[in-house]
Amino acid sequence: MLKNQKSQMVNGLEFSIEFAENKKNYKLWSIHSNMRTTDKYICELLSTDNKQGMNLLFKKYFESLVIWADTFLNDMDQSQDLVQELFVGIWRKKTYRNWNPDKLPSYLHVAVKNSCYNKLEKIDVLKDTTGIDSFDKIYDEFESNKEEIVVKILEEVERLPERGREVVKCIYLRGMKYQETADELNISLQTVKTHLVRSLKTLRTSSDKLGDFFLFYFFSKK
């Protein structure tokens, strides 16, 4: 299968995605590989405007953010573009300088959610919609009522169809990788992603009362 490559240069920073012609089976490349990809290490690099921190961030979170965006946009190509534009916007605006590594996964997923809403409303995707002060307030509310909220979240998970429930539990509750989940459930990697998109969409649309708490619980466990 022929390969295409899409790159975007911003102030010397390159985000490069190599993906199959149908754009469904893509691989991610960073300019310089580094095994120290903890959120703490990434935030330390970014706090000094180190471009390698941005590349590691992109490599670590791009795929999960695209899957999350697809639950809103129902279009994998648009989801890839939106997430890439979001990363470019983060680098341009230097919004990463005061990030808390403990909140990083949740923050990124909330930012993608807001960007998706903006896109659906035909608002500039790079518009700053996720204020860190507002995010911290909601996050603190989650931490203060975590036990009660988690019980409600797990109840919603149990209401999912069987295979979707298994995928969600493997990835978000057991911390398994997508391929590990596929191997354990004896299904393809693409089927895992399909069930994950459907399940996240179901949880998001059927449980508005839990708001961003789903994000804080699931993605803080990643």
pLDDT at position 181 is 95
Q: Which of 97-101, 123-127, 158-162, 211-215 has the lowest mean pLDDT?
A: 123-127
Q: Share the mean pLDDT of the chain.
A: 78
User: What is the per-residue pLDDT across 18-61, written as a single tens digit (0 to 9) for each?
Assistant: 333 333 433 333 333 334 479 999 999 999 999 999 999 999 99
The number of beta carbons lying within 10 Å of the beta carbon of residue 116 is 22
User: What is the per-residue pLDDT across 64-76, written as a single tens digit (0 to 9) for each?
Assistant: 999 999 988 989 9
Instruction: Give the torsion through C-alpha atoms of 58, 89, 16, 215, to 10 deg.
Output: 30
Inter-residue contact 99 to 105 (CB < 8 Å):
no
- Considering only CA atoms, which of 43, 91, 37 is closest in space to residue 60? 37
Question: Going by C-beta distance under 8 Å and a sequence separation of 6 or more, which residues neighbour residue 56?
Answer: 30, 34, 37, 41, 42, 45
Tokens representing 88 are 């470019």
Give me the sheet containing 3-10, strands edge to edge.
3-10, 13-20, 26-29
Identify the structural domains of the chain with CATH numbers, from first to last: 3-129 (no CATH), 145-219 (1.10.10.10)
User: What is the per-residue pLDDT across 76-115, written as a single tens digit (0 to 9) for each?
Assistant: 999 999 999 999 999 999 989 889 898 899 889 989 988 8
Which of 3-12, 25-34, 135-144, 156-165 holds the top average pLDDT?
A: 156-165
| pLDDT of 195 strictly over 70 | yes
pLDDT at position 14 is 54
pLDDT at position 120 is 81
pLDDT at position 67 is 93
Tokens representing 129 are 């919609």
Phi, psi angles (nearest 5°) of residue 119: -65, -40
- Considering only CA atoms, which of 138, 111, 136 is closest in space to residue 126? 111
Tokens representing 18 are 């190599």
Rounded to whole angstroms, how far apart are CA atoms 151 and 154? 5
Tokens representing 122 are 């035909």
Tell me how long the chain is: 222
